[in-house]
Amino acid sequence: MSRRVIGIVMNGVTGRMGYRQHLVRSILAIREQGGLPLGDGEVLWPEPILVGRSAHKLKEIADRHGLTHWTTDLDEALAHPLAEIYFDAQLTQVREQSIRRAVAAGKHIYTEKPTAESLDAALELARLARDAGVRNGAVQDKLFLPGLLKLKRLVDSGFFGRILSVRGEFGYWVFEGDWQEAQRPSWNYRAEDGGGMVLDMFPHWRYVLDGIVAPVRSVYAHTTTHIPARVDEQGRSYRATADDAAYGIFELEGGITAQINSSWAVRVDRDELVEFQVDGTEGSAVAGLRECRFQHRAATPKPVWNPDLAATESFREQWQRVPDNAEFDNGFKVQWELFLRHVVTGSEYRWDLLEGAKGVQLAELGLRSAREGRRLDVPDLAL
Ligand SMILES: NC(=O)c1ccc[n+]([C@@H]2O[C@H](COP(=O)([O-])OP(=O)(O)OC[C@H]3O[C@@H](n4cnc5c(N)ncnc54)[C@H](O)[C@@H]3O)[C@@H](O)[C@H]2O)c1
């Protein structure tokens, strides 16, 4: 076995996503499994080079996990002799400048979504990466979740017949921060800091719909701020200037209607924090993060509307589970492995910065639709 070391500059590892999903559950998990096999007896060994604003937080993370490379200076990290990839899980607002510096330093780019705050900036980053000849990718983790992989299996098998509609429910109660601490960072609720439901979740809905059902062709969104004041990490109250809920209707290619509610001010009466129901002429399915249930046309009950009688059957018991049929790894890790292979072997990789820009496009159009109160077309993007 020969070991090929690849240095990854990881920015934002003190944050929720950067630490838990990317550093611990992806990169360190790849090391724990002995590296990433490349074939021909070669193993890829990711070496994190942590970068951020707080020396003591970085040192603490490095010590906890036995890592040796960390710095508060981005240029120093990019100049590290092992560094080949730059990864960004910072606050969205500060991402663009860091990615620009990494591209200029010739690094391959992998980044959290949204890839930038505006479509122009997202496209510019994709162009810069293309022109510099560096490989690039944007996180689209939901595509690699067991529940959505099972849904994709149903779509690919032709199970649905003609797909008619998609209805998505996403959300949970995010505490206001006064009598119970909020479970999300306060910047998420401030527009001036790049927060907001649309900017956060529409990039996900774009690749989920495009990648599993059909390309998104138009958007109508109604947004609101249900909770106008919250309390931040320091216990200070602040005004929530960003949308905390978005009610979106999307037209997809082939005349499919998708409707997705996204809210941080809703209490969960679902099996999972996100669920998508897909209805087709031949059958329907409900997919969450892990599970996917389906009902075939031949097993569809025939309820008759009669408010005078109690329901005589349990509708939820009339669905079957899609079996696992495979081992499902962490979705973030699966995508990291595909990206790392792409970087070192040139294997196919579809989820690049242009795909990431499509997510920013849908968020931007969604916000504009909400402001103007009208439906907007989603034009094709090209570099
Ligand atoms: N793929 C997903 O499912 C998913 C989920 C949540 C968040 N995200 C994305 O990940 C990114 C990070 O989100 P998070 O929830 O981990 O946020 P977080 O607040 O927990 O972490 C933010 C990180 O950015 C760093 N940072 C750099 N400059 C900063 C500044 N000026 N102000 C504040 N922080 C700064 C922080 O130190 C920290 O490491 C965002 O772009 C977000 O959209 C993705």
- Ligand 1: residues whose CB is within 6 Å? 12, 14-18, 52-53, 89-92, 94, 112-113, 139, 141, 185, 200
pLDDT recorded at residue 252: 98
Q: Would you give the DSSP letter of residue 297?
A: G
Q: What is the pLDDT of residue 188?
A: 97
Res. 312 pLDDT band, cuts 50 70 90: confident
Tens of pLDDT, residue by residue over 329-354, are: 999 999 999 999 999 999 999 999 99
Which residue is closest in CA terms to ligand 1's atom 29? 91
3-state SS string for 39-89: ECCEEEEEEEEEECCCHHHHHHHHHHHCCCCEECCHHHHHCCCCEEEEEEC
| pLDDT > 90? residue 239 | yes
- CA–centroid distance, residue 80 to ligand 1 (Å): 24
Give the distance (Å) from ligand 1 centre to CA of residue 86: 16
**Averaged pLDDT, 160-165:** 98
Domain locations along the chain: 2-141+331-352, 143-328+361-376
3-class secondary-structure state, position 250: strand
The answer to whether 167 and 277 are in contact (CB under 8 A) is: yes
Please give the pLDDT value at position 308: 94
Statement: residue 144 has pLDDT above 90: yes
- Each residue's pLDDT tens digit, 290-305: 999 999 999 999 999 9
Cβ–Cβ under 8 Å, residues 298 and 207:
no
Mean pLDDT, residues 142-146 taken together: 97
Q: Determine the pLDDT at residue 250.
A: 99
Burial letters 97-132, b for 16+ CB under 10 A, else e: ebbbebbebebbbbbbbbbbbebebbbbbbebbeeb
The whole-angstrom separation of Cα 57 and Cα 51 is 10
Q: Residue 168 pLDDT more than 90?
A: yes
- pLDDT for the residue 275: 98
Looking at per-residue pLDDT, the higher value among 41 and 1 belongs to 41
Residue nearest to atom 3 of ligand 1 (CA): 141
Taking 90 as the threshold, does the pLDDT of residue 40 lie above it? no
Q: 């509610």: which residue's tokens?
A: 261
pLDDT (tens digit per residue) in 56-66:
999 999 999 99
Cα 350 to middle of ligand 1, angstroms: 24
- Please determine, for residue 1, whether its predicted confidence score (pLDDT) is greater than 90: no
Query: CATH fold of 2-141+331-352, please?
Result: Rossmann fold (3.40.50)
pLDDT of 67-110, one tens digit each?
A: 999 999 999 999 999 999 999 999 999 999 999 999 999 999 99
* Closest residue to atom 34 of ligand 1, CA basis: 91
Contact between 187 and 199 under an 8 Å Cβ cutoff? The reply is no
Interatomic CA distance for residues 171 and 264, integer angstroms: 5
Task: Answer yes or no: is pLDDT of 180 > 90.
Answer: yes
- Summarize the confidence of residues 5-18 as an average pLDDT: 97
CATH, domain 143-328+361-376, list 3.40.605.10, 3.40.50.2020, 3.40.50.10190, 3.30.360.10: 3.30.360.10
Chain position carrying tokens 């960072």: 185
Q: Give the residue among 7, 15, 59 at the shortest CA–CA distance from 343.
A: 7
**Distance, CA of 285 to CA of 321 (rounded, Å):** 9
Mean pLDDT of the 12-26 span? 97
